[in-house]
Chain A
Amino acid sequence: MTNAPLTTVDGRAITLQSVSKIWGDSRAVDDLSIEVPAGTFTALLGPSGCGKSTTLRMIAGLESVDEGRIRIGDEEVNERAPSKRDLSMVFQSYALFPHLSVAENIVFGLKVRRVSRADRDARLNRVADLLGLSALLERKPAQLSGGQQQRVALGRAIIGEKPVCLMDEPLSNLDAKLRQEMRTEIRALQQQLGFTMVYVTHDQVEAITMADQVVLLNKGRLEQAATPRDLYERPATPFSARFVGTPPMNLIPASALKPLAQADTLLIGVRPEALILDPKGPITAKVKTVEYHGADTLAECSINSEPMQVRLSGGSVVTAGDTVSFGFAAEALHVFDVMQNCRRDDLLPEIGAMLCS
C-alpha cells in the first residue's frame, strides 16, 4: 500500500441505548446497549441469526429502531434517513452498480452530492492509488475478481471521508488467503484515516485480530463487550467462553470432578491449550481419539461421559484408549455459574486451591 495523502477524518462515537428490533413476536435484537468510542474499531461478533447484521442496519438507518435510542456523535439519529447520518457502508455482496465502471462506482456518492468535478477526480486518484485500483478504473464490476470488487466497495466507502464506516461481513466471499490480506489492510486503513468502524462478522479470528472492542451477541442479546484480550482471557459467560478460541474452551460440570461433586450449578472452564499431562493432576480422562497436527496434537477425551478437548505440544504422546491425568495452572481456571449465566471470579481462589497444585 502506498502512503497517499488521503485526508484523515474525525471519527464519531456511536451509542446504542436499550435498542430492540421486533419482528412479529420474536425479538431479533433485545435491549442492546453498546458504546463505540470515536475513531475505534468495534466488531459485532456472533453466530448467524444473533442480530448482529440487524444491529448494523439499524445504525445505518436501513432498519427502523423499535425501542431504545441510537446516537451518532452528539445527535440522536433514530428518525434520520440513512443519507443524513453521515456514514458509509460496505455490504457483504459489495452492492456494486453493475452498469457503472469502477470509477463511476467509487464517485457515485460524490456525484450525488454534487462535489465539483476537479475535487472528485483528485479524490478518485488518491483512493485508487491507495487501494491499487488505478489500472482498473474503466472496467465494469463483472470484469473484476472478488478481491478487486471488494476493493472497489472499500473505495466507495472511504472516498466520502465520512466519520463512520459500517461493514457487513465484507470478507466472507473471499478465499482464505485473500481474507487474511484484506484483514490487515482494512485495519490499517481504519487506523490511517481515523474513522469509527463498526464491523459485523461471524468469524471470531477476524473480530479478535482486527478490533479494538469486540461485542459478542447471542440470540439478540449482548453476551459481552470487551477488548479481544479480555474476551479471550476473561470470558463473561459460558457462551463467550465457548465462542472465542479454537478449539473452544472446555466447560466441565463441576459435579464431574471429584473434589467439587456438590457444586452442581458450576461449570469449570479450561482452554484445551492450558491442559498439560500431569500424573498427579485433578482431571482424569479417557482418551477417545487423537489427531496429530504436527506442531501439536489434539486429543478428544471424556470425563464421566463429559467431552473434553486437549491440545498437547507436538512431542507428547497419548494413544486412544489411555486413561490420562491432566493438570493446569491456577491462572488458566475459569468458573461459571450456569443458573446466573455469569462468571464467578469470587470462587477462583477456593476452587483453584482444590484443583491446582
Chain B
Amino acid sequence: MMRRMALKREWIHGWLLLLPAMVFLFAFTHIPAITTFINSFYSTPRGKRAAKFIGTANYERMFDDPVFWQVLWNNIWFAVGTIPLSIGLAIVMALWVNEKMIGRSFLRMAFFTPTVLPLIAVANIWMFFYTPGFGLFDQLRSGLFGLPSTNYLGSPDTALNAIIVVTVWKEAGFFMIFYLAALQAMPVSLKEAAQIEGANRWTIFWRITFPMLMPTTLFVTVNAVINSFRLVDHIFILTDGGPDNASALLLFYIYETAFRFWETGYGATLTVALLALLSLLAIGQFFFFDKKVHYK
C-alpha cells in the first residue's frame, strides 16, 4: 500500500515537471496542427454563415488550383537552387577558414555576417543591389560593359532566381559554422596519416573529410529543406510574390490565401499539404542518409 502511494507520488511529480513544456507544446504546436487538419474539411466561415463540413472539397479544389501547382513547382525549384549551392559553398568556406592564414578570424566573421543581419536589412540591401537603372548590379553592367539596365526582381524569368541568390548568400555562412565546428573536431593526425599514405588533397577530402562530415551534412540538409519551405520574409520585401506569382512559394501562398483573402478553410488545406510534404521529406532524408552517415 505504502509502496503504491509512493509510486503514485513519484508519477505525479514527474508529470508536474513535464507540465510547463507540455502546455506550450500542445497550445502552440499540437492543438493548432490538429485544428488545422479538422478545418481543412470545413468551409470558410463568413459573417453569420458558420463553417460547415464539406468533406474533401477543399482538397479537390487544391488539386485543380493552377496557382498551387505553380507555387509548389516554384518551391521545388527554389529548394533545388538553394540547398546544394549553399551547402557546397558552406563546405568550401569552412575548409578555407579552417586553414592557418592571416586574417582568418576576419574572414570567419565576414562569412557569418549575413546570418547575424536582420532579414529586413538583408532584403533591403539586396533591393538596392537589384534596383533597375541605379542599383549596384546595373551600375556595374552599364559602367563596365555598357549593357542596358535590367529588372531582376520585376521580370518573371529572373525574380525567383534573384531570391535564390539572396537566400544562398544568407544561409551559406550559417551552415559554414556547423561545418567549421565539425572540421575542428576532426583529429589532424587523420589527415597526416592519409598524407603519408600518399593521398593528395582531393583524395583526402573525398575519402576522409567529406565522409566524416556526413552527420553534419545530414543535420544541415534537414534544416535547409525545412528553411526552403518556410521562407516568406524575403518575398514580402523583395517581390511580394510577383510578378504573376513567379516568385511565390508555398508558405507565402498559404499566408496570402488565409490572411489576405481570408479563405481560412482553403488555407488550412494548403497547410496540411505543406506539413505532409515536410514530414515525408524529413523521414525520407533520415532513411536515405542513415546508411551513408557514420556516427562516432
A residues near B (Cβ < 8 Å) are 60-62, 81-83, 87-89, 91-93, 95, 97-99, 108-109, 112-113, 140, 142, 156, 160
For the complex of A and B, list the 10 residue pairs with the smallest distance between their C-beta atoms, beginning with the closest. Answer: A109-B197, A99-B294, A95-B193, A95-B189, A83-B198, A99-B211, A91-B189, A112-B199, A82-B196, A82-B195
**A160–B195 contact, CB under 8 A?**
no
Residues of B within 8 A of A142 (CB): 296
Residues of B within 8 A of A140 (CB): 294
Known: A97-B208, A98-B294. A83 touches B199 (CB 8 A): yes
**B189–A93 contact, CB under 8 A?**
yes
**A156–B192 contact, CB under 8 A?**
no
- Nearest to B292 among chain A residues (CB) is A99
Tell me, in angstroms, the Cα distance from A60 to B190 when the chains sit together. Answer: 14
> Which secondary structure dominates where chain A touches chain B?
loop
**A109–B189 contact, CB under 8 A?**
no
B residues near A (Cβ < 8 Å) are 187, 189-190, 192-200, 203, 207-208, 211-212, 214, 294, 296
**B296–A98 contact, CB under 8 A?**
yes
Among candidates A62, A92, A99, A112, residue contacting B197 with C-beta atoms closer than 8 Å: A112
Residues of A within 8 A of B193 (CB): 89, 91, 95, 97, 156
**A89–B198 contact, CB under 8 A?**
no
Residues of A within 8 A of B187 (CB): 93, 95
Known: A95-B187, A98-B294. A89 touches B212 (CB 8 A): no
How many residue pairs between the two chains, A and B, have CB atoms under 8 Å in the bound complex? 65
- Nearest to A110 among chain B residues (CB) is B197
Tell me, in angstroms, the Cα distance from A88 to B197 when the chains sit together. Answer: 7
B293 nearest CB across to chain A (Å): 9
A-B contact pairs, 28 of them (CB 8 A): A60-B196, A62-B196, A81-B195, A82-B192, A82-B196, A83-B196, A83-B197, A83-B200, A87-B196, A88-B196, A89-B193, A91-B189, A92-B189, A93-B187, A95-B192, A97-B193, A97-B208, A98-B294, A99-B214, A99-B294, A108-B194, A109-B197, A109-B198, A109-B199, A112-B199, A112-B203, A140-B294, A156-B197
Residues of B within 8 A of A156 (CB): 193, 197
Tell me, in angstroms, the Cα distance from A81 to B203 when the chains sit together. Answer: 15
**A160–B197 contact, CB under 8 A?**
yes
Residues of A within 8 A of B203 (CB): 112
Most buried by A among B193, B199, B203, B214: B193
Tell me, in angstroms, the Cα distance from A88 to B195 when the chains sit together. Answer: 10
A344 nearest CB across to chain B (Å): 44
Residues of B within 8 A of A89 (CB): 192-193, 196
Residues of A within 8 A of B198 (CB): 83, 109, 112-113
Tell me, in angstroms, the Cα distance from A109 to B187 when the chains sit together. Answer: 19
